[in-house]
């Protein structure tokens, strides 16, 4: 399964590579209030997202997994950006990022951290799933954020 060759110099800016090589939020959380896993069969990317909450606010985020540089960099950006945000704020960023992957500009007043480095990805439809994987997994985790100590396979 060959993925289209993308214009690396356009997508893989230094900031993306930095996140890929030194991913943020890789450690498992001591307290996990929500978790989800996501898989992108097109590329083989997989991510595991863990969240802890302080009331309505995201206290801490862990993103682990393996895959291509876009998927891993996007997860690292998520882990860097979301701690301290409310669920609502996280949802706004999530929606803005999804819109960006459909070619829409980011709202100017929205702080999306390093995510804007992934802007060029929207030109490569196969790679959009890579960029969104951590975020759709986050969405799953937030929509089912009751503490759980059971593991399903
Ligand atoms: Zn990928």
**Structure-token match 């070619």, residue found:** 103
pLDDT given at position 146: 52
pLDDT given at position 5: 57
pLDDT given at position 120: 86
Q: Indicate the pLDDT class of residue 151, thresholds 50, 70 and 90.
A: very low
Give distance in angstroms: CA of 69 to centre of ligand 1. Answer: 7
pLDDT given at position 10: 55
Q: Indicate the pLDDT class of residue 9, thresholds 50, 70 and 90.
A: low
Give distance in angstroms: CA of 129 to centre of ligand 1. Answer: 7
Burial of 144: CB neighbours in 10 Å, binned 0-12, 13-18, 19+: exposed
What average pLDDT does this structure show over 105-123?
90
Higher-confidence position of 152 and 53: 53
| pTM for this model (two decimals) | 0.87
pLDDT given at position 153: 40
Give distance in angstroms: CA of 130 to centre of ligand 1. Answer: 4
Of 111, 135, 110, 108, the closest CA to residue 121 belongs to 135
Local structure of residue 34 (DSSP, 8 states): E
């Amino acid at each position: 399964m060959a993925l289209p060759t993308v214009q690396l110099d356009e997508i893989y800016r230094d900031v993306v590579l930095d996140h890929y090589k030194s991913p943020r939020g890789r450690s498992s959380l001591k307290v996990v209030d929500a978790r989800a896993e996501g898989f992108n069969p097109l590329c083989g990317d997989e991510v595991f997202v863990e969240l802890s909450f302080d009331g309505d606010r995201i206290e801490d985020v862990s993103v682990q997994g393996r895959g291509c540089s876009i998927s891993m960099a996007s997860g690292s950006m998520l882990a860097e950006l979301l701690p301290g945000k409310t669920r609502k704020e996280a949802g706004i960023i999530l929606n803005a990022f999804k819109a960006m992957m459909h070619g829409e500009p980011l709202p100017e007043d929205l702080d999306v951290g390093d995510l804007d480095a992934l802007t060029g990805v929207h030109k490569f439809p196969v790679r959009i799933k890579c960029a969104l994987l951590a975020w759709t997994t986050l969405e799953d985790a937030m929509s089912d954020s009751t503490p759980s100590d059971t593991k399903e396979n």
